[in-house]
A and B are shown apart, each in its own frame.
Chain A
Amino acid sequence: MSYVAIADQHAHLHDPQTFITKYVWSQDHKVIAIQYMATAMAIGVVAIALSILMRLQLGFPGTFHFINPSNYYQFVSMHGMIMVIYLLTALFLGGFGNYLIPLMCGARDMVFPYLNMLSYWVYLLAVLVLVASFFVPGGPTGAGWTLYPPQAILAGTPGADWGITLMLVSLVIFIVGFTMGGLNYVVTVLQARCRGMTLMRMPLSIWGIFMATILALLAFPALLVSSIMMALDNHLGTSFFMPALVSLGQETVHKGGSPLLFQHLFWFFGHPEVYIVALPAFGIVSDLISTHARRHIFGYRMMVWAILAIGILSFVVWAHHMYVSGMNPYFGFFFATTTLIIAIPTALKVYNWVLTLWRGDVHLTVPMLFAIGFVFTFINGGLTGLFLGNVTVDVPLSDTMFVVAHFHMVMGVSPVLVVCGALYHWYPKMTGRMMDDRLGRLHFWLTLVGTYAIFLPMHYLGILGVPRRYFALGDTYFVPDSVHSMNAAISIAAMIVAAAQLIFIFNMLWSLRHGKPAGGNPWRATTLEWQTPETPPRHGNWGPELPVVYRWAYEYGAPGNREDFVPQNEPPTTQTAVAVGHGRNVG
């Protein structure tokens, strides 16, 4: 059995007949992708609203009486958890992974369509359980997104009765659902590529999503293990993580547990998680830059190897989140070293993006603006990472606003810029219409300038020693008055950025009906998803015949062609063969 046959399985393609099988219980990867995206964005809006509530308190303490310390911790915790797992992970892998893998690899669908459908519905269940925790007695957990024991399950922490349980249950459900989807993504990439699509001809988007899926499959079990053990500590009175302690004047039933054990397990998941979000962003941004700069990606092979190297290294840096948890200094040295080593393949990628832009025929389209915004922001966030990766610099900066600014730049704003760019880029393929260009530019500039107005000053607050997670700063001698006005300014910027996202959502909905018709390949791109016979692609993607791939994904600006690009599936003519035969040095 060849993989051509696997890519072309007709037996698996139950043709949808009714409205329900077509749009609700659909097994079509494109519909599932859009379901994932819509759900992730909906819960993302909740997370944005929570961050605004948080900023209202920080910017104008004492003004809003409906925000008390308990609420505040709940807002912080749920904002973090939703953004990292339920929005970004689900959107990149469930959303873009589902949409792009079969189309870019030239398959008719995922290899296990039924499992794929199940994956979405299980994800939706996880989201619903999470949302339910807002409506139970005591509200959602306020333990911080890291859910550190012992405080996560002690009485007195907001949500200790119901919230934490629902949080852990929701995570377990999410991981089960993700595993179903993840198996699909990996096996589809390995087994169902069309004829001629060798691994080294895959677009970098697929490489990024593929590697991120492998990371997620291996790292999420750590979160699963810690969730199970914490649930048992909470409900059966075991002592995996819970030490002996006195809580609210009462001795608890626990003794001897190790909170540090939880931290190790959590960050063994938590650090790869950063790259689970970053690698798809790296891949997608490479394709955006290459397409809109009309130039082959610089150093394709290096880009692939860097993705693999980052993936492997990301498993041996987790304890840099725990420098102040009390660890052997030699461990600290080891983890600082690995952390700095991972900067090498990452920097290599940044150089290659910049070199791709260099002397390219840069079209400042909206996706390209977001891609450049990403490179810019990622460099900023990456540089502060060098500060925090060094133990001696990290110790005084730990638990200050500097850390908040760093990780929002590097894994908050950067991936979100890619998500936006990618949506502007692939929206025409998904709907057949272009999004409005002026609204897109307005959205871009408000978002980019706005996020810098939020997070750049936050670094300075952190250096002054302003702590994170505090409900109110009160009268603290090292916090000058200017900090309070800065906090107010940051909050106003945050509200403007949140409002700008409404423009984005409006644009998406409005363009569904009123956007300019896009045609099949509006960006004149080479990759397979733009070469489908219909736009949006129909069930089965390719009509009667699967595409055949003749070249890599970055044939832009080659001399001697009719157009400045050659699609991957265009049969070679003698002319293009000669042009390529000249052997431009691109590796």
Chain B
Amino acid sequence: MNLVVATVALVAGLLVWWMAARRLTSRSWEGQGTFDGRDAAELHSAPAPARVGLWVLLAVVTSFFALFMTAYFMRMSPEPVQGVGLRDWRPVAEPSILWFNTLLLLAGSVGMQVASTALRRWRFTLAAWGLAAGGAFALAFLLGQWFAWRQLHAAGLYAAANPANAFFFVLTGLHALHLLGGLVVWARALTRMARGRTTLEAVRLSVELCTVYWHYLLAVWVVLFGLLLVT
């Protein structure tokens, strides 16, 4: 559970930093008033709730994947029981299509980044193309993952055959599920933009949030893929 303890330490560190930043040492029983002078500076930089909400969600998803990876390590080298180690772990030979898929996901992330940068510079056509490409590449990635699974299946590497296979399917599957959830939001953002029945600020926000989510899932994939490759 070292990974988990590290995660907890990180969260604790962030919490302490946040406490310091938020003046949790103030003596609230002494003063009266609204602290307008001090608050004003803080308040103008307050991010939109949806943005904070996304970051909190990413913390939850990080905890989820960190725990799965911890389980991966623990299952890989189980504690020897009465001196007998259970060495049943047969590493999976990762299908080479995964490298190609990684590139697709990277391209999706780039597309999203293009879209949100373009929106900030008022270049709407480019933004629309970027957004469409970001989603399309993500879809292509999912298709590629499907092929990878078919390959493993064809090679007789079923989930039940070996714990390494099982973890491969579960981890890639859950990553794909998270991406699918992102694609639902992406589809909503795209239709909104196409219909034009919304404010520029709202479009900008939803595109930016999609971009953050895409980058995050790319990072998760890189970590997962790296883990699968080296073990």
Q: Do A and B bind each other?
A: yes
A residues with a Cβ closer than 8 A to B are 1-4, 6, 111-112, 179, 182-184, 186-187, 190-192, 195-196, 198-201, 217-219, 221-222, 224-225, 228-229, 232, 236-240, 243, 253, 255-258, 260-261, 264-265, 268, 296, 300-301, 304-305, 308, 311-312, 315-316, 548-552, 554, 572, 576-577, 580, 583-584, 586-587
* From B25, B47, B53, B79, contact of A301 by CB (8 A): B25
Cβ-defined contact, A256 with B5, below 8 A: no
Rounded to whole angstroms, the CA-CA distance of A264 and B61 in the bound complex is: 19
Question: Which residues does chain A contribute within 8 Å of B24, judged by CB atoms?
Answer: 199-200, 301, 304-305, 308
Question: Which residues does chain B contribute within 8 Å of A264, judged by CB atoms?
Answer: 1, 74
Cβ-defined contact, B32 with A228, below 8 A: no
Question: Which residues does chain B contribute within 8 Å of A224, judged by CB atoms?
Answer: 64
Rounded to whole angstroms, the CA-CA distance of A554 and B79 in the bound complex is: 53
Question: Which residues does chain B contribute within 8 Å of A225, judged by CB atoms?
Answer: 64, 67-68, 71
Question: Which residues does chain B contribute within 8 Å of A217, judged by CB atoms?
Answer: 56, 59-60, 63
Question: Which residues does chain B contribute within 8 Å of A265, judged by CB atoms?
Answer: 67, 71
Would you list the 6 A-B pairs with minimal beta carbon distance, nearest first? A196-B34, A2-B43, A256-B88, A221-B64, A237-B160, A111-B49
Cβ-defined contact, A549 with B34, below 8 A: yes
B103 contacts chain A at the CB level, 8 A cutoff: no
* From B1, B53, B163, contact of A111 by CB (8 A): B53
Q: Could you tell me the distance in whole angstroms from the C-beta of A117 to the nearest C-beta in chain B?
A: 15
Rounded to whole angstroms, the CA-CA distance of A278 and B170 in the bound complex is: 34
Nearest A residue (CB) for B163: A239
- With A232-B166, A260-B79 known as contacts, the answer to whether A187 contacts B36 (CB < 8 A) is no
Q: Contact mask B145-185 → A, CB, 8 Å, 1/0?
A: 00000000000000110010010001000100000000000
Rounded to whole angstroms, the CA-CA distance of A66 and B51 in the bound complex is: 55
Given contacts A222-B63, A236-B159, could you give 14 more A-B pairs where the C-beta distance is less than 8 Å?
A111-B49, A182-B56, A184-B53, A187-B49, A196-B34, A196-B35, A217-B60, A228-B170, A229-B170, A240-B71, A261-B74, A264-B1, A551-B31, A576-B32
- Among B22, B49, B53, B163, max chain A CB count under 10 A is at B49
Rounded to whole angstroms, the CA-CA distance of A222 and B4 in the bound complex is: 10
B96 contacts chain A at the CB level, 8 A cutoff: no
B15 contacts chain A at the CB level, 8 A cutoff: yes
Question: Which residues does chain A contribute within 8 Å of B48, judged by CB atoms?
Answer: 1, 6
- With A261-B71, A312-B12, A552-B28 known as contacts, the answer to whether A183 contacts B57 (CB < 8 A) is yes
Interface size on B, residues (CB 8 A): 56
Rounded to whole angstroms, the CA-CA distance of A296 and B30 in the bound complex is: 12
Rounded to whole angstroms, the CA-CA distance of A482 and B34 in the bound complex is: 65
Question: Which residues does chain B contribute within 8 Å of A584, judged by CB atoms?
Answer: 29
- With A183-B56, A238-B160, A253-B160 known as contacts, the answer to whether A218 contacts B34 (CB < 8 A) is no
Q: Could you tell me the distance in whole angstroms from the C-beta of B174 to the nearest C-beta in chain A?
A: 8
* From B8, B44, B74, B166, contact of A258 by CB (8 A): B74
Question: Which residues does chain B contribute within 8 Å of A3, judged by CB atoms?
Answer: 43, 46
Residues of B5-61 at the interface with A, using a CB-CB cut-off of 8 Å, are 5, 8, 11-12, 15, 19, 22-36, 39-40, 43-44, 46-50, 52-53, 56-57, 59-61
Cβ-defined contact, A312 with B8, below 8 A: yes
17 contacts across the A-B interface (CB closer than 8 A): A1-B46, A3-B46, A112-B53, A183-B57, A187-B56, A191-B49, A196-B35, A198-B26, A198-B28, A198-B39, A232-B159, A240-B75, A265-B67, A312-B12, A316-B5, A552-B28, A580-B30
Question: Which residues does chain A contribute within 8 Å of B67, judged by CB atoms?
Answer: 221-222, 225, 265, 268
Nearest B residue (CB) for A572: B32
Cβ-defined contact, B29 with A218, below 8 A: no
- Among B8, B40, B43, B71, max chain A CB count under 10 A is at B71
Residues of B107-144 at the interface with A, using a CB-CB cut-off of 8 Å, are none
Cβ-defined contact, A112 with B32, below 8 A: no
B86 contacts chain A at the CB level, 8 A cutoff: yes
Cβ-defined contact, A301 with B159, below 8 A: no
